[in-house]
Structure 1
Amino acid sequence: MDAARAASIAKWVTEAGLIGMSELELLHGFCDRLIAEGLPVSRVNIVIDTLHPIHEGRVFRWRRDDQESLNPVVEYGRTNVEGEAAENWRRSTYYHLLVSGEDFLRRRIGPGHPEDFSVLKDLRADGQTDYVVLIHRFAVEGAIGEMDCFYSSWTTDAHSGFTDEHIALLRELASPLMLALKCASLARIAKTLVETYLGRDAGRLVLNGRIARGVTDRIQAVLWFSDLHSFTHITETADPEQIIPFLNDYSEAVISSIYEAGGDVLKLIGDGALAIFKEENASEACRSALKAERLMRSRIQALNDERRSCNLPVTSAYLGLHIGEVFYGNIGSQDRLDFTVVGPAVNEVSRIGALCRSVERDVLVSSAFHATASKDDQECLVSVGRYALRGVARPQELFTLDPSRLEDEGFRADAE
Structure 2
Amino acid sequence: MELTPRLNLMNWLVGQGLTGVPENELLRGFCERCCAEGLDLSRGLVFIDTLHPIYEGRGFRWTDTETNESDAFEYGSTAEGDAARNWRRSTFFHMLEHGHDEMQIDLAECEKLDFSQIDELASKGHRHFLAFVHRFGETGALGQMDCFYSYWTTRRDRGFTEPELSSLRDLVPILGLAIKSAAQVDIARTLGRVYLGRDAADRVLRGRISRGVTERINAVLWYSDLRGSTGISESIGPGEIIPFLNDYAQASIEAIHDAGGDVLKLIGDGVLAMFTGEDMAAAHRAALNAEHRFRKNIAKLNARRSQEGRPVTTAYIGLHVGEVYYGNIGSDDRLDFTVVGPAVNEVSRIASMCRSIDREFLASTEFRAGLDTTGRRYMVSTGRYALRGIGRAQELYTLDPDMASNEAMSGSYERYLMS
- Residue pairs, 1:142-161, within 5 angstroms: 142-161=140-159
Matches of 1:72 and 1:406 in 2, distance apart?
49
Are residues 1:126 and 2:131 paired? no
- Residue pairs, 1:81-230, within 5 angstroms: 82-111=80-109, 114-230=112-228
RMSD: 1.2
SS at match of 1:396: strand
Matches of 2:227 and 2:219 in 1, distance apart?
26
- Residue pairs, 1:393-404, within 5 angstroms: 393-404=391-402
SS at match of 2:108: coil
Does the 8 A contact of 2:385 with 2:396 survive in 1?
Answer: yes
Matches of 1:232 and 1:112 in 2, distance apart?
61
SS at match of 2:277: coil
Percent sequence identity is 51
Compute the displacement of 1:114 (Å). Answer: 4.5
- Residue pairs, 1:270-285, within 5 angstroms: 270-285=268-283
TM-score, normalising length: structure 1? 0.97
SS at match of 2:125: coil
Are residues 1:340 and 2:338 paired? yes
Compute the displacement of 1:230 (Å). Answer: 0.6
- The one-letter code matched in structure 1 to 2:85 is E
Point out the more displaced range, 243-252 or 200-209: 243-252
Instruction: Name the residue aligned to 1:377.
Output: 375
How many equivalent pairs are there? 414
Instruction: Name the residue aligned to 1:61.
Output: 61
Instruction: Name the residue aligned to 1:71.
Output: 70
- The one-letter code matched in structure 2 to 1:175 is P
Task: In structure 1, list runs of 5 or more residues that go unmatched.
Answer: none
Compute the displacement of 1:72 (Å). Answer: 1.4
SS at match of 1:118: coil
Instruction: Give per-residue Cα distances to partners, 1:1-35, cap 9 Å, x unaligned.
Output: 21011000000000100111111111111111011
- Residue pairs, 1:11-50, within 5 angstroms: 11-50=11-50
Matches of 1:411 and 1:227 in 2, distance apart?
28
Instruction: Give per-residue Cα distances to partners, 1:386-407, cap 9 Å, x unaligned.
Output: 0001111111110001122244
Does the 8 A contact of 1:97 with 1:104 survive in 2?
Answer: yes
SS at match of 2:87: helix
- Residue pairs, 1:214-293, within 5 angstroms: 214-293=212-291
- The one-letter code matched in structure 1 to 2:76 is G
Compute the displacement of 1:124 (Å). Answer: 1.4
Task: In structure 2, list runs of 5 or more residues that go unmatched.
Answer: none
Instruction: Name the residue aligned to 2:8.
Output: 8
Does the 8 A contact of 1:405 with 1:411 survive in 2?
Answer: no
Point out the more displaced range, 267-276 or 22-31: 22-31
Matches of 2:413 and 2:265 in 1, distance apart?
28
Does the 8 A contact of 1:43 with 1:156 survive in 2?
Answer: yes
Matches of 1:377 and 1:254 in 2, distance apart?
22
Matches of 1:113 and 1:233 in 2, distance apart?
62
Matches of 2:339 and 2:404 in 1, distance apart?
31
- The one-letter code matched in structure 2 to 1:28 is R
Compute the displacement of 1:118 (Å). Answer: 3.2
Matches of 2:224 and 2:246 in 1, distance apart?
15
